[in-house]
Amino acid sequence: MSDPAWPAPPPIPRDAISPLPATLEVEVAILGAGIHGAALARELTLRGVSCALVDKGEVGGGTSQWSSQLLHGGIRYMLTGDIRQMREGLAERATWARIAPHRCRWEAFWMPHRYWLEGLAHRFGIGLYDHWGAERPGWSADLALGRVPQGVFQADARSAGGPFRGATAYADLMTWDRELTKDLAASSEAVRLDFHEPEGFETTAEGLGSVRLRDRADGTLRQLRARRWVFALGPWTDGAMAQWFGETRKRLRLSSGIHLWFDAVPGCDRPWAIRRPRGRILFVIPRDGMLQVGTTEREVEDGWVPIVAAEREELFEALEANLPAIPWRRMPVRSEELGVRPLVAAGGVTTHLSREAILDRHPRFANLTLVLGGKLTTARALMDHLATGLTGRRCEASTTEPLRLWDGQKAQIR
């Protein structure tokens, strides 16, 4: 489980000292080792192209360890009408279940309803969601979908005393985001430069030429040269572009979201997805012997921001209003985490893959692409698309080749 939100960049573990040489040269330099950077490293390796994966922290140590950990079509898009994005997510969900079965677990999520007509609308929408998402490799036949029988609903500790009269179950895929990101990196032959801070760039006629990196473990300086560059810096993109190149243009809008982790509550066996105003969803998910609750939305200015009291309070109020039978405030919060969503600022050009993700060619450095926005769910597809553009080569194996497990374990903890 993740630490509480860091107000500052990650600390360096003692064993992070790198045996790498002082000068390195690769075809593609990837700065940022979240899910996008790690997925791109795998795509390039599958195409036989050399790359380096640089991060000032560790692989999967940023936003990609603070998500809601769902590989999903996004049931909320059923409410906002973004069916295309939803169907892209559903297709990708099936790909993840194929290539990363050990980091995925199918679940029957319950969406509760307050009144009969709402229940009918849920059944219709969820029916379509599960129809379009019918490809579910590894689906467990004992997970029931559709209308939840009244007796089963009432046996759930969350149904008592609240506004809900019943629920409809839909399928989605849970993952372990940090482990998945580390698996992607381990499935590449990238030169790994964890805990390396970029300090300055040299340019050439083609654009960026090299970067000077300081090894944060022991202060060693390294020079990394590359022909092409990809920055996948998540919510830190605007800050880095300002610091490195003096750019003031805002490419992203940042929105923080928090999760609280409680001890498991007896009688809460299925994950719940509760509709909230403005198309938002409150998730209450039993996993890994605990209960994960989230999330919120608050506009923020930076990727490293602490949780504010009002954010925590908003979550407690939503829990009490919707699930009053559970004594939320009396239960100790075992852990809390904050992640910052890198949302694309208005006015960008969209890719065909997702309206929330942009591959932005830098206007000054012709050999630099910025990855803006995106989701865990669509990261593989987006980086497949980018790698095809960078190398001119498609790669069928991207959707079929199983990931290597970074820790060598055979199965994910259930």
Ligand X SMILES: Cc1cc2nc3c(=O)[nH]c(=O)nc-3n(C[C@H](O)[C@H](O)[C@H](O)COP(=O)(O)OP(=O)(O)OC[C@H]3O[C@@H](n4cnc5c(N)ncnc54)[C@H](O)[C@@H]3O)c2cc1C
User: Using CB under 6 A as the criterion, what x/- string covers residues 279-298 for binding ligand X?
Assistant: ----------------x---
User: Using CB under 6 A as the criterion, what x/- string covers residues 140-179 for binding ligand X?
Assistant: ----------------------------------------
Q: Is 57 a binder of ligand X (CB under 6 A)?
A: yes
- Contact residue for ligand X among 55, 88, 130, 336 (CB under 6 A): 55
- The nearer residue to ligand X, 148 or 185, going by C-beta atoms, is 185
- Contact residue for ligand X among 66, 77, 129, 365 (CB under 6 A): 66
Size of the site for ligand X (CB under 6 A): 37
Q: Give the nearest residue (CB) to ligand X.
A: 34
Q: Is 133 a binder of ligand X (CB under 6 A)?
A: no
Q: Is 271 a binder of ligand X (CB under 6 A)?
A: no
CB of 50 to ligand X, least distance (A): 19
CB of 414 to ligand X, least distance (A): 19
CB of 404 to ligand X, least distance (A): 19
Q: Which range of residues in 32-40, 164-172, 204-212, 322-330 is near ligand X by CB under 6 A? A: 32-40
Count of Cβ atoms closer than 10 Å to residue 145 Cβ: 16
Q: Is 31 a binder of ligand X (CB under 6 A)?
A: yes
- Contact residue for ligand X among 148, 376, 382, 387 (CB under 6 A): 376
- The nearer residue to ligand X, 45 or 63, going by C-beta atoms, is 63
Q: Is 61 a binder of ligand X (CB under 6 A)?
A: yes
CA–CA distance from 298 to each of 92, 153, 282, 379 (Å)? 28, 32, 15, 23
CB of 65 to ligand X, least distance (A): 7
- Contact residue for ligand X among 119, 166, 271, 374 (CB under 6 A): 374
182-201 residues near ligand X, rule: CB under 6 A: 198
Residue 234 φ/ψ, nearest 5 degrees: 55, -135
Q: Is 261 a binder of ligand X (CB under 6 A)?
A: no
CB of 151 to ligand X, least distance (A): 31
The CA radius of gyration of the chain, in Å to the nearest whole number, is 22
Q: Which range of residues in 101-109, 159-167, 226-234, 380-388 is near ligand X by CB under 6 A? A: 226-234
CA–CA distance from 411 to each of 2, 137, 178 (Å)? 20, 16, 15
Residues engaged in binding ligand X (CB under 6 A): 31-37, 54-57, 61-64, 66-70, 198, 232-236, 240, 257, 295, 339-342, 374-377
